[in-house]
Structure 1
């Protein structure tokens, strides 16, 4: 999606699995997302509200992977803050995928400039499938960006491939964007062209939703 796209009327419908499917476009206020923010507050709150119920267990997975010191994981400060914010929404939130308890919802963020989208997608999908309860949902946040050679990188495709390879059911691709009136808005690109290739205006965040089906 590019800047100045029309704002469609929100719709919702139930999927064949019985999971409620929200609007294809999430209009999250007029303020543009900070491209360095891995856990945009409005976006995370919307995902939690749409895809979990009070008291649900929610796991956050970020990329790059948290650093380790000996046997201890060292979570990033922004991830710890997002965990606390989700707890304020009456959910049992954690960023420890090896806690031993299965979770109802996993939210994974690839918003920290994954220049290797395949590796990032495989990492978050592997952790999510190990932690999710049957019938649980995986929500992956990603955004297009330009590589060092100027080529546009789209992690969403790698995420979908990795999730489907892990036998997750692809439910929906949602666009989250700042909206002013009836127009999706974005700042013009500030980076110069590289190797003669023009830079795209990235005006949205991709929200891909997957289900771990219950068998039998």
Structure 2
């Protein structure tokens, strides 16, 4: 008798074509709540007393096992967050829907992203942050583009085509109120859909307010609306074949080549300079050079700097001449302003980078006679110490402070009109999501940058029918399955956030804003240029 195929785990990117996103939220989350507790839906604002303001949806005063709060394109202050938490039963879920908005002002077109403030307010109210999900109002359809990078080799450009979704992107933030007393593992859901009674009650609440796909709430026509980058139509290994040396797989957190290729094509022209101050094995540099751009990379660890140069040498061997006008510097990116040659100041059209984050997202899994073994999960073999210069070994606060310094150096590199593009995603610690995208957005602001856009770079393949096929790591798949068995509605991370920023022309960039503590200065390094064969030249 054939075995039934396992049901795919849900991902962090949803489509709700022609469907009220609240209905989709309730269907997905209600099975993880107490079936005897009501589902409450409200369009905030919540008053300081904790009662929902007058809305077109009826509500009750009793606490809910699932409370869905639609902020439209607004935020949530601490009083409202406490009110929403009070309306959630112990062990229940709070789902907050919000949207980013674009505005024109003295600094030009900028993005207001309320998600970080909402997460901070709800966590301050005592709830645990479980998941961030992007809901799109239009189906995904991959646009064929067999050679986006234009180099004729059919490289990662074939996986780097873009889906423009012009309307209806909603951010869903899911929280859980701790159970009273100790926190035992919740009872696992027993049915794939919500109980009929709950579904009917929710239908009565949401029917009064229609939501039409295409209303464009929270989006700017001038900015082109939210965007989805299809950067995983091919897996990472396929994207690198013949373009990177095999040893490149040892790096624990490599950027997808198609993502780098897309950013280069989107924000630069042939001959422009593309920089990455945390370049690792040089993915940004290689994709820039193969697209006819020049590249500048900075890397602290000697092993990765040598691999980056080797990958650039391979591009040169393949006939990409701008590789000879591209550099890999070994140094500390937190102090670019102290040692970077002034000729690079104001020279880059694009600075593309990604911070180091959670070890659960890193590494390779190998099957051995004694079981599964995780390898290549570390940036360096140097022990973690309070003064460690590698940000991958820093505490969370030091990571944010150090990354802010890196972004100040990125601002120094930018030419007028240039962009900083940051690829980032959250990670999970002890079951709770760490909101690294919000921390990075705050770092960008502290570094004198203003956000202009937030896109989605898929870590999943889009089929011709518009379905997402996730490419999770072994450990991510295992953790999500285990959490869902315990009754926690976690999802496979199927996207990375792409934060687009530029210089804030209304701010003063003349002061020295270096903030990292002196204990870390001992390990700081000035520049060394990496050349062929792994040698360095000062």
| TM-score normalised by L of structure 2 | 0.25
1:51 maps to 2:36: no
The 1:28–1:148 alpha-carbon spacing in structure 2 relative to 1, beyond 3 Å, is: same
Q: Find the counterpart in structure 1 of residue 66 from structure 2.
A: 105
> Partners in 2 of 1:174 and 1:136 — Cα distance?
18
Instruction: Specify the SS of the correspondent of 1:75.
Output: coil
Deviation string for 1:102-124 (max 9, x for gaps)? 2101101111x42xx3xx24244
Match of 1:213 among 173, 178, 181: 178
Alignment of 1:115-194 (within 5 A): 117=75, 120-147=76-103, 149=105, 150-183=109-142, 184-187=163-166
Q: Find the counterpart in structure 1 of residue 402 from structure 2.
A: none
The alpha-carbon deviation at position 73 of structure 1 amounts to: 7.6
> Partners in 2 of 1:186 and 1:169 — Cα distance?
31
User: Does structure 1 conserve the Cα–Cα contact (< 8 Å) formed by 2:81 and 2:125?
Assistant: yes
Q: Find the counterpart in structure 1 of residue 382 from structure 2.
A: none
Report the structure, 1 or 2, having the larger strand content.
Answer: 1
Post-superposition, which runs of at least 4 consecutive aligned residues in structure 1 deviate over 3 A?
53-56
Larger radius of gyration, structure 1 or 2? 2
The alpha-carbon deviation at position 74 of structure 1 amounts to: 6.6
Q: Find the counterpart in structure 1 of residue 14 from structure 2.
A: 26
Instruction: Specify the SS of the correspondent of 1:180.
Output: coil
Question: Can you give the 5+ residue segments of structure 2 that lack an aligned partner in the other structure?
Answer: 1-6, 143-162, 183-538
Match of 1:64 among 42, 45, 63: 45
1:42 maps to 2:23: no
Q: Which gives a bigger RCO, structure 1 or 2 (Cα 8 Å, sep 6+)? A: 1
Instruction: Specify the SS of the correspondent of 1:125.
Output: helix
| TM-score normalised by L of structure 1 | 0.58
Instruction: Specify the SS of the correspondent of 2:85.
Output: helix
> Partners in 2 of 1:11 and 1:134 — Cα distance?
29
The alpha-carbon deviation at position 145 of structure 1 amounts to: 0.3
Question: Can you give the 5+ residue segments of structure 1 that lack an aligned partner in the other structure?
Answer: 1-9, 13-21, 32-40, 67-71, 81-93, 188-201
> Partners in 2 of 1:122 and 1:173 — Cα distance?
19
User: Does structure 2 conserve the Cα–Cα contact (< 8 Å) formed by 1:125 and 1:166?
Assistant: yes
RMSD of aligned Cα (Å): 2.8
Q: How many residues align?
A: 146
Report the structure, 1 or 2, having the larger helix content.
Answer: 2
User: Does structure 1 conserve the Cα–Cα contact (< 8 Å) formed by 2:100 and 2:113?
Assistant: yes
